[in-house]
Structure 1
Amino acid sequence: MDTNTIHFIRLAEADELSFRLHEPISVTIDSLSVILCCTPRNVKFILRRLEEKSFIRWQPGRGRGHTSVLTFIRSIDEALEDSFQELMDKGKIKEAIELVGFSEVNEPLKERLLSSLNKQMGFHSEADTSSGQDVLRMMRARRLEKLDPAYVYTAFESYLLGQICSTLILYDAATQTFLPGLAHMWECSEDHRIWVFYLRKGVRFHHGRVMTSRDVKETLQRLIDLNSPAIWHYRDIERAEVEGDHCIRFYLSRPNLFFLHLFSCIHMSILPYDVDIRTEIIGTGPYRVSDLNEDVLVLSAFDQYYGIRPHLDRVDIWFVPDHGPGERHYELPGVVRMKLPAERCSTNSIDYPALGCRYMVFNFRKPGYQHNHAFREAIRIVYDQVTLIRELGGNRITPASSFLPWKSSQVDWTASPSLEEARELLIRSGYQGETIILGHTVHKDLEEADWLKHRAAEIGLQIELHAFIEYKDDNTVSTADLIMAEEVLEDDWQWGLINFFKNSSNYLHNYLESGQHSRLDCELESFAQLSGEDRAQLLDRVEGILREQYWILYGCHMNKKAQLNQSLFGLHTAAFGFLDISKLWIKPGFQ
């Protein structure tokens, strides 16, 4: 905020002046000097500038000791809005975002400023070079979590890493086959215990060095050294041998028919061995990181990308946490939807019924009624999928009994148990009216959590909502009795499900106790040795355990809907239903 606006607000909020718009107020220079914390001489300079800016009218008193007259001709909201617009006109988006968070900005004004900020997001063609640059700007309602393939779990960060880094091979969901990536060919022994990858030549990292097989070996070793949450999947690998710069061979302790999935997932994004990824994220993907701080992530097209160079030259992602739900912000679809300003009617619409669903999981590592089967069943009835969709609607499209929509569609949803059944189960559990803590994210889960709280109250179940921003760093997660969440699976759904069951960084891992983990481990031990059909049956059986024991309560499947300007072309979905920004382009002059 500029100093003129700060001085104006200080005057307008001063108790001594009793702010009244367009009404003259008698003041003295000495009293204004106290309010503005400056000398009488500087007061006169400040008043002159405020008058030039049309914030006030000033009529100085004649003679020493005589009162002067100050008239406010702008409201505080108008001053803040003008200051915001001036920042936006100068391209100072960071400062404008900071202004939205000032305590002087009330909720109606915040809505207007965010709406104005939305209009600066989206797709632009900038004439700051001879050829011009096509730029996508978007906002996120939370800070970016760490961009590290070894630890990443959240959908948006995984999606970004897919734009920055590359994997040896790619999974094609349409054909359920694998395509060449950084490796142009691969083969395995008859017993599936030796796998060989042949690498493309001339692939460059963003820092300029050519990728070799050593980078592949060190990427795997890094997962091992860091004890990555995803390391369970790679436990069969005994050793990796480099055979020149463009060939690498993996030796396994037992057959692994799931091996290709492990080298197409984001955890095995190939990183350069000579760069510390903790300080600088370097990959071989279509976009490189040109700037990253707590306010913005800037991705620039990588001209030496081994594939097809992106059409968009730059992507700016601004982080605007704690300023309301994601629907307000103009974003890519996914966890948070992209939305054009209401007055823009020329749009394309994309529907992406995402794999995965909304769900709740109980915290079995904390003492409480959640260890009682009847209690969990009672909440299952309260959290009724059909009622949830009917009463809240939105992008909730179908009730879920599985993370997989086609499994949920096999269920007969015509009959729903009554709340009276839930009340009886609650009594049977021995519940005595104690408060149950439900954890939920600050904005995304609030509506659903509040809906559940009120339904629970109808059967005498007292739920207290505790909001959190990031589950890894918030005490709410460990103290909650249950958590409301959403899981969005990769298009490679078998990988997505087994990673959900075995990745040590998610809610399920952190909330189940050792006996429950042992049961799942026993079920899943032979997963990678099975054929695709047998793996699908095994995953279905494990989901059945979660469902029948009420360890997880499935909610509903979501539609990741996006509205996009019609000048935007090359619409392809990438991982998790986000748009593949490497294929987007803007048609010049399109009306």
Structure 2
Amino acid sequence: MDTLNTHFIRLAGAEQLSFKLHEPVAVTIDSLSAALCCTPRNVKFILRKLEEQGFIHWQPGRGRGHHSKLTMLRSMNEALEASFTELLGKGKMKDAIELIGNVQMHDSLREQLMLSLHQQMGFHSHDETASGQDILRIMRSRQLGDLDPAFVYTAFETYLLSQVCNTLITYDAKSESFLPALAHMWECSEDHRLWTFYLRKGVRFHNGRVMTSRDVQATLQRLTDVHSPSIWLYRDIERAEVAGDYCIKFVLHRPNLFFLHLFSCIRMTILPYDYNVANTLVGTGPFQISELNEDVLELTAFDAYYGIRPHLDQVHFWFVPDLSPNDRYYELPGTDRLSLATGCDQTNSINYPALGCQYMLFNFHKEGIHHHPLFRQALRIVYDSVALVRDLGGNRITPASSFLPWRSAAQDWTAASLEHARELLHNCGYQGETITLSYKHNKDTDVAEWFQSRAQSIGMNISMQAVVDYFNSEETTNAQLILAEEILEEDWQYGMIHFFKNLSNHFHMCMSPAFQSLLDGKLDHFAKLHRADRTALLDEAEALLRDHCWILHGCHMNKQAELDQSIFGMQIAEFGYMDISKLWIKNP
């Protein structure tokens, strides 16, 4: 934005001119032209305007050999703050975010500007119309991932899809049962090989078209056509038969007692049969996407939603630079940061002990000493779950020996001995090779440094490799060790089997073919079993990982956020996020 503040910031930040507050500096028009990125003619115009507004004092040189002198009357911090305030006042959120991320400034000022930016987040009520518009703004410190249901993997994107789209049925974790959604009724044959769903009438997509069974059939077929990483779960389906606009039947090769779980998960969110992935996502959910670019995702309430229309009119997710975290911000799963308005003492707190855990994964597609079982046992001690929780604390609430907190709680915990790890290193033939550890920048830095320090204490050399995005980084797949976190769906059996069988996650990409084949053989008949037997089988699969140290469980996490007391209707959605379709603000 070409304003006086911007010109002053460029001028004050020019390293070659070395300005200091209230100290005259000899300059030339050519040097000022380079600093301001403009022609010499425009330099004089800009200098005159800056002097009129009290930014500088300008003393032009008189005659040959006499340099002009320029004195800064305001500090860089003052100009940055003024420019930032101006941008916010004009609603230019993108420019304000870019200013924080791209301009060099002191950490304390950056922190101050971040607080101001966060105060622009939260709820806002606009009275441009008679009815008013309630808007929620939320900041995220990473770019939005893939919103294609066939490929979505990360928790935040899965959560967003649940606000934009619907499935045939939903899973209720409290009762461990299924509830109607786009289908109001379903039934199956005695041998569990024929499943029939009866659809609601009058359900509309965001483009206005009425949903029919043809859309359901096309959604299933699309998983195969686009080679979805989740297609293994649907392998028992022989065909889908349209039996009228509002009835669809699924004929199976073999009995499947897990079938309903497959149609309540986000991968089978119903899309229009003519859906084009190049266009904006179209669903049947409470919110529709009104704008999507690299800076912001704007959701607007869908007035024709078949359920209860959201109280909020719009929700904006702004994607900001991944700046250093601050204690005033409390994270939800992923890297959401929501802040409190200044001076607000009363808050609503979200505490969500997440299903899943932080863990360490071995990349068996890379050569190295980590293929030796004794080396992995040594790392099990270095990455000790008890020591991890004890030493780092925070929202790391309990040690993990499983993705399931209740399984971990059943274990007797004692801290392991690093001296035993040293002996294991010696016995496996470790010769001081450098092992590369990949971890999420900012999010897992403290864990990575803690792990590196413990490893060094027994003579193990760990090279640290921070990445911004695990799922789009070649650096991650080039590391021997990966720090990761898995957050399971409330339908934890589905979450577990999907973790084991998802072809696109890091677990699959890092496992050796031999290990994967052994696991596949154990899980092959999973869907044929009743719930209790499926639970036992998943326990066996996790024991296989644990006994061979293919992955190392770390700790269970408590996901937290604090929000202003004026928020009403706060309910927890999947993965511990707020259900924005239920939120509302009490206007004065």
State the TM bucket, normalised to the shorter chain.
over 0.9
Match of 1:435 in 2: 434
Say yes or no: does 1:517 pair with 2:516: yes
User: Given the alignment of the two structures, is residue 355 of structure 1 paired with residue 358 of structure 2, yes or no?
Assistant: no
Aligned to 2:558: 559
AA at the equivalent of 1:357: C
Quote the Cα distance in structure 2 between the aligned partners of 1:582 and 1:565: 17
> Is contact 2:142-2:335 (8 Å) kept?
no
Find the counterpart in structure 1 of residue 300 from structure 2. 300
Residue 505 (structure 2) aligns with: 506
Counterpart CA distance in 2 for 1:262 and 1:327 is: 39
Give the AA of the match of 2:507.
L
Map 1:303-452 to 2 at 5 A.
303-325=303-325, 336-340=336-340, 343-413=343-413, 415-452=414-451
In 1, are the aligned partners of 2:330 and 2:560 still within 8 Å (CA)?
no
CA 1:72/1:109 → structure 2, altered by over 3 Å: closer, same or farther?
Answer: same
Counterpart contact for 1:151–1:229, Cα < 8 Å? yes
Structure 1 counterpart of 2:72, one-letter code: F
Counterpart of 2:113 in structure 1 is 113
Q: Are the equivalent residues in 2 in contact too, given 1:28–1:66 (CA < 8 A)? A: no
Q: Go from structure 1 to structure 2 and tell me whether the alpha carbon gap of 1:61 and 1:124 turns closer, same or farther (over 3 Å shift).
A: same
Q: Contact 2:25–2:71 (CA<8 Å) still a contact in 1?
A: yes
Change (3 A) 1:476 1:30: closer
In the superposition, relative to structure 1, how do residues 506 and 581 fare at CA in structure 2: closer, same or farther (>3 Å)? same
Q: CA deviation at 1:60?
A: 4.9
Q: 1:560 to 1:14 in 2, by over 3 A?
A: closer
**AA paired with 1:380?**
R
Residue type of the partner of 1:403? F
Structure 2: gaps of 5 or more residues: none
Structure 1 residue 338, shift from structure 2 partner: 3.2
Q: How much has 1:57 moved relative to structure 2? A: 2.5
In the TM superposition, residue 462 of structure 1 has moved relative to its aligned partner by 0.6
The answer to whether the Cα contact below 8 Å between 1:326 and 1:337 also exists between their aligned partners in 2 is no
Q: Matches of 2:251 and 2:432 in 1, distance apart?
A: 57
**Compared CA separation, residues 16 and 181, structure 1 to 2 (3 A):** closer
Residue 443 (structure 1) shift: 1.9
- 1:567-582 counterparts in 2 under 5 A? 567-582=566-581
* 1:128 partnered with 2:128: yes
Offset of residue 228 of structure 1: 0.5
Alignment check: 8 A CA contact 1:141 1:321 kept? yes
Alpha-carbon deviation of 1:340? 2.2
Q: Which residue is equivalent to 1:244?
A: 244
CA spacing shift, 1:26–1:543, aligned 2, 3 Å: closer
Give SS of 2:472's match: coil
What is aligned with 1:465? 464
1:87 is aligned to 87
The secondary structure found in structure 1 opposite 2:162 is helix
| Alignment correspondent of 1:288 | 288
Corresponding position of 2:488: 489
Partners of 1:482 and 1:217 in 2: how far apart? 41
SS of alignment partner, residue 157 of structure 2: helix
Over 3 Å counting, the alpha-carbon distance change for 1:537 and 1:339 in structure 2 is farther
Is 1:101–2:105 an aligned residue pair?
Answer: no
The yes-or-no answer on 1:22 pairing with 2:15 is: no
CA distance in structure 1 between the aligned counterparts of 2:393 and 2:506, rounded to whole angstroms = 25
> Secondary structure at 2:425's aligned position in 1?
helix
Following superposition of structure 1 onto structure 2, how do residues 215-254 of structure 1 map, counting pairs within 5 Å? 215-254=215-254
Q: 1:37 to 1:559 in 2, by over 3 A?
A: closer
Instruction: Quote the residue 1:536 is aligned against.
Output: 535
Instruction: Please state how far the C-alpha of 1:294 moved relative to its aligned partner.
Output: 0.6
Counterpart check, 1:264 vs 2:258 = no
Question: Does the 8 Å contact 2:332/2:560 carry over to 1?
Answer: no
CA distance in structure 1 between the aligned counterparts of 2:185 and 2:335, rounded to whole angstroms: 34
Asked if the contact 2:139/2:337 (under 8 Å) is kept, the reply is no
Q: 1:187 to 1:217 in 2, by over 3 A?
A: same
Q: Is the 8 A contact 1:420 1:459 kept in 2?
A: yes
Residues 309 and 332 (structure 1), Cα distance of their counterparts in 2 relative to 1, 3 Å cut:
farther
The one-letter amino acid paired with 1:489 is L
Q: Residues 348 and 169 from structure 1, CA distance in 2 versus in 1: closer, same or farther, beyond 3 angstroms?
A: same
Deviates more, 1:86-95 or 1:6-15: 6-15
Mapped contact 1:375–1:426 kept (Cα < 8 A): yes
Corresponding residue number in structure 1 for 2:188 = 188
Deviation at 1:143, TM superposition (A): 0.5
Match of 2:177 in 1: 177
Whole-Å separation in 2 of the counterparts to 1:39 and 1:543:
67
Structure 1 residues 250, 45: closer, same or farther in 2, change over 3 A? same
**Residues of 2 paired with 1:255 and 1:558: CA distance?**
37
Give me the TM-score of the superposition, normalised by structure 2.
Answer: 0.96
When residues 439 and 186 of structure 1 are mapped into structure 2, their CA distance, relative to the original with a 3 A threshold, is same
Distance in 2 separating the partners of 1:211 and 1:279: 18
Across the two proteins, how many residue pairs are aligned to each other? Answer: 588
Contact 2:332 2:559 (C-alpha < 8 Å) held by counterparts: no
Q: Distance in 1 between matches of 2:89 and 2:81?
A: 12
- Please provide the CA RMSD for this pair: 2.0
Q: 1:381 to 1:50 in 2, by over 3 A?
A: same
What letter is aligned with 2:264? S
Counterpart residue type for residue 467 of structure 1: A
One-letter amino acid matched to 1:276: N
One-letter code aligned to 1:568? I
- How far is the alpha carbon of 1:90 from its aligned partner? 0.6
Tell me the residue number matched to 1:585: 584
Q: What residue number does 1:545 align with?
A: 544
Residues 347-387 of structure 1: per-residue CA shift (max 9 Å, x gap) = 11121111001001101111111111110011111111111
1:418–1:352 CA distance, 2 compared to 1 (3 A): same
Contact in 2 for aligned 1:2/1:83 (Cα 8 Å): no
Distance 1:188-1:75 versus aligned 2 partners, 3 A rule: same
TM-score, length-normalised on structure 1? 0.95
SS of the residue 2:102 aligns to: coil
- 2:159 is paired with a residue whose SS is helix
How far the C-alpha of 1:341 sits from its partner, in A, is 5.2
How many angstroms apart in 1 are the aligned matches of 2:85 and 2:465?
Answer: 36
CA gap of 1:220–1:40, structure 2 versus 1, over 3 A, is closer
Residue 398 of structure 2 aligns to a residue whose secondary structure is strand
Alpha-carbon distance between aligned partners in 1 of 2:333 and 2:507, rounded to the nearest angstrom = 25
Whole-angstrom CA distance in 2 between matches of 1:326 and 1:527 = 44
